[in-house]
Chains A and B, each alone.
Chain A
Amino acid sequence: MFKKEFVPGSRSKVKSSAQRAIRAKVLETYPKLEPHLDDILPKKEQLDLLKIPDRVSLYCLGGEPLFWQHMDDPVMPHLKVIHKYPWAFPRIRIDRGAIRFVLSGATLMVPGLTSPGGRLPGDEEAGDGYGNGGKELEAGEVVVVEAEGKETACMVGVLKMGTQEMEEKKKGPGIENGHYVGDGLWKLDLN
């Protein structure tokens, strides 16, 4: 999505009604963020909307980008929000070998998730962090991607394929066009 660095377009204030709608959307998509929502999106503070390339709307508070949305796709958190509240998102894990591909903007391929170093909700070894409460994730859901041996997430994106199907097929693209550490959105400086 943000493989290239970019210059943001126009900046505008988000009306309070629209601001409420965004809060509701975020809460609906990420119910586990509920206890933290007032910290992330304080009710009384002014949100700004930034138009960025490829019809993406970026919501910021002061100089800090918080969420972004591509047209009518799900609202996505910026990775810095994820780094603060990693437990509030469904997570999967790639093996170490896949990291350098993800960080260069390549499509995340399923073998990086089904190999011994990877973690998916259906795995026996997935544990609390990646077990998703025993529930498989469906295609179209937003997931945070962590990495073997690392503590912080490296990507967030929408699943191309459900996690159960991934375990059966063990190949193909898993996530395309994610937001990853070091990409254009990450490097965007609003100050």
Chain B
Amino acid sequence: MTDTATATDARPPKHVVYCGVCTLPPEYCEYGGTTKKCSEWLVANHPDLHSHLYSEDAATKGMSNLSLDAQKRAEKDAQKKAAKAEAAEAREKTQRAASKVYIKRVERNKRKYVTEVSGLEAFGLDLKKIAKEFGKKFATGSSVTKNAGGTGDEITVQGDVSDDIFDWLQEHHAEVPEDNIELIEDKKKKASAGP
């Protein structure tokens, strides 16, 4: 601590490094739950700061003012947070890999179609925003609706724009892999793979 510092008028501003992972000053990374990643970032970008903050010595010194009980609690807490963050990340990854986006052409009346797009939310996309984009892009009605089972939301676009939506997704949202998109044509009401 610079407790003894005295203010002079022309004192230049302090430059504080911020963590490239969790955005906090690195000395607070331990509270964020991404400590492992933060530490790796700091080693790569500010090795001197890393050795200062993560040394055995700093760790023991930092804890010395806590009771043994509180130390254990803090340690457990940090571990739990880190484990939680890691698990959430892994879960999201596998979930995404397994997630499908269905673009389904549905016949409403004779030769009138609507296109239902479901599953985009699994890739972190905002359905409302996407629906609006579809509306503008294809100059047609497009809205977020409840799906048939009432288990979630999907986007309903007026007209048969399945292929256009497929192309648009490829172009603008590479985070949805081509293999995860399935086009469905629902002519008669036969059982389909869609949800």
Residues on A close to B: CB < 8 A? 32, 35-36, 39, 80, 83-88, 95-97, 99-100, 103-104, 116-117, 127-130, 146, 148-152, 154, 181-182, 186-187
Residues A84 and B16 in contact in the complex (CB < 8 Å), given A128-B3, A151-B2: yes
Residue of A nearest to B62 (CB): A149
Say which residue of A32, A35, A127, A150 sits within 8 Å of B3 (CB atoms).
A127
A-B contact count (CB 8 A): 83
Interface residues of B in 1-48 (CB under 8 A from A): 1-7, 9-11, 13-16, 22-25, 27-28, 31-32
Q: How far is the CB of B55 from chain A (nearest CB, A)?
A: 13
Q: How far is the CB of A27 from chain B (nearest CB, A)?
A: 15
Residue of B nearest to A153 (CB): B25
Say which residue of A80, A95, A128 sits within 8 Å of B65 (CB atoms).
A95
Residue of B nearest to A104 (CB): B31
Residue of A nearest to B2 (CB): A129
Q: How far is the CB of A96 from chain B (nearest CB, A)?
A: 6
> B97 near A: Cβ within 8 Å?
no
Q: How far is the CB of A4 from chain B (nearest CB, A)?
A: 16
Residue of B nearest to A115 (CB): B65
Q: How far is the CB of B103 from chain A (nearest CB, A)?
A: 29
Q: How far is the CB of A39 from chain B (nearest CB, A)?
A: 7
By the criterion CB–CB under 8 Å, are A129 and B3 in contact?
yes
Majority DSSP secondary structure for residues of A touching B: helix
By the criterion CB–CB under 8 Å, are A187 and B62 in contact?
no
A25 to B74, CA, bound (A): 41
* Residue count of chain B within 8 Å CB distance of chain A: 30
When distances are taken between beta carbons in the complex, the residues of chain A under 8 Å from B9 are 35
Q: How far is the CB of A106 from chain B (nearest CB, A)?
A: 12
> B61 near A: Cβ within 8 Å?
yes
By the criterion CB–CB under 8 Å, are A83 and B14 in contact?
yes
When distances are taken between beta carbons in the complex, the residues of chain A under 8 Å from B74 are 97, 100
By the criterion CB–CB under 8 Å, are A87 and B25 in contact?
no
When distances are taken between beta carbons in the complex, the residues of chain A under 8 Å from B11 are 35, 85, 87
A83 to B17, CA, bound (A): 10
By the criterion CB–CB under 8 Å, are B28 and A186 in contact?
no
> B83 near A: Cβ within 8 Å?
no
> B77 near A: Cβ within 8 Å?
yes
Knowing that A99-B31, A152-B25 touch, tell me 15 more A-B residue pairs with CB under 8 angstroms: A80-B16, A87-B5, A87-B11, A88-B7, A95-B65, A96-B62, A116-B65, A129-B1, A130-B3, A149-B65, A152-B27, A154-B28, A181-B28, A182-B23, A182-B31
By the criterion CB–CB under 8 Å, are B2 and A36 in contact?
no
Residue of B nearest to A40 (CB): B13
When distances are taken between beta carbons in the complex, the residues of chain A under 8 Å from B23 are 182, 186-187
Q: How far is the CB of A100 from chain B (nearest CB, A)?
A: 5
By the criterion CB–CB under 8 Å, are A182 and B24 in contact?
yes
Q: How far is the CB of B59 from chain A (nearest CB, A)?
A: 11
When distances are taken between beta carbons in the complex, the residues of chain A under 8 Å from B27 are 149-152
